Amino acid sequence: MNNSDRRSFLQSAGLAGMMSAVAPAALAQGSAVHEKARTTAPASKHSIRFAVIGLDHAHIYSMTAAVQRGGGQLVAVYGTDPKQIAEFLAKFGDVKLARSDAEILDDKSIQLIVGASIPDLRAPLGVRAMQAGKDYLADKPGIVSLEQLAEVRRTVAATGRKFAVMYSERLEVRSAVYAGELVRSGAIGRVIQTINLGPHRVNAPSRPDWFWDKARFGGILTDIGSHQADQFLYYTNSNQARVVASQTGNLAHPQYPRFEDFGDMTLVGNGGTGYVRVDWYTPDGLSTWGDGRLFILGTEGYIELRKYINVASDLAGGDHLYIVDKKQARYIDCKDVALPFGPQFVTDIVERTQTAQDQQQALLAAELVLTAQAHATRPVLG
């Protein structure tokens, strides 16, 4: 019952006099304040030349657009699937189609490689890009084994180049961006825990063969869970962390024995703790691919994000943020929040800074999920 309904009920019951004895602050706790957040992205300060290698995941479209927003000039693309190439060129116009990835890597005028190839090919490409004197932005998961991670770290140290990962569920989700601003401003005190729920719809008929092969996508915690590990580190401001427990399993897709459709993990860092649950169980009754949710618990309040949908409500679309602090409960519509990653990342490339993404934190997120994957137990069902 909302505030006006409660007041009408009390009046009709002859108890209106009791209302005057109730403190206004107490009444305010029962109703949420509705706000609309509006922010502007940092201005593009620089221009760079970049190329795309690998079109195997549709994330490449948002990754390319993000770099373009930051001042990137797309000069070449290489792929191996004619259909993927045609769709990419239809989206991004008259871009040079390279004859090989080596043609792009050998072009010294290109500063950045953006790639969304099959997951097990992403880290090797990034190593080659860094060795060629270029920075690299990989789709997640950027790395699918601890051996690949070790090689990436060696190459970063040896070349001084960037191996960035597009953790899009934070970097390209407006409510997640605004939650970061609230956390950094101290709006809920010190963050001590995050809880991430990352359900996805499997869409089996549309999936390529590699999607069902754990050796190629790294496992469910490596794949989907990389988003959540990144968010745990970022919101708790942790630069050291470890896996406490993890489990993975294939509970609903026996026809794909090398697939995993459920996983969870518990993490602890030097800034807080985190719990992550991911799955491929989104039912057909949901109007989008997944009801992604994030809970951020602070010492003076908490935040909940309904990233992509607010189920069975009149609030359309996604980017819904709820915050409760010492004073009030608020609902914040984040649809007009700007996405700063592109301009920040291009600036980082030119100025050799780490504003868009901290290199150590990006690779620590990969280390956490790879470790969780390697030591995961099977889910225990009754």
Q: What's this model's pTM, rounded to 2 decimal places?
A: 0.90
Confirm if 266 and 368 have CB atoms less than 8 A apart: no
Question: What CATH number does the domain located at 170-341 have?
Answer: 3.30.360.10
Per DSSP, the residues of 285-338 read: TSSSS---EEEEEETTEEEEEE-S--TTSS--SS-EEEEE-SS-EEEEEEEE--
Please tell me the distance from the alpha carbon of residue 63 to that of residue 69, in angstroms, as a whole number: 10
Tens digits of residue pLDDT in 210-233? 999 999 999 999 999 999 999 999
Q: Please give the torsion angle defined by the CA atoms of residues 133, 137, 139 and 140, in that order, rounded to the nearest 10 degrees.
A: 90
Q: How many Cα atoms sit within 13 Å of 104 on the Cβ side?
A: 32
Residue span(s) of the chain under CATH 3.40.50.720 come to: 48-166
Question: Angle 359-374/225-236 helices, nearest 10 degrees?
Answer: 130
Structure tokens at 243: 């896996």
Structure tokens at 208: 């390529």
Domain 48-166 has CATH 3.40.50.720: yes
pLDDT at 5: 46
Structure tokens at 328: 């009030």
Q: How many Cα atoms sit within 13 Å of 269 on the Cβ side?
A: 27
- Looking at residue 110, its amino acid is I
pLDDT at 382: 55
Tens digits of residue pLDDT in 44-87? 999 999 999 999 999 999 999 999 999 999 999 999 999 999 99
pLDDT at 18 over 80: no
Tens digits of residue pLDDT in 307-346? 999 998 888 999 999 999 999 999 999 999 999 999 999 9
Please tell me the distance from the alpha carbon of residue 86 to that of residue 101, in angstroms, as a whole number: 17
Residue span(s) of the chain under CATH 3.30.360.10 come to: 170-341
Q: How many Cα atoms sit within 13 Å of 98 on the Cβ side?
A: 20
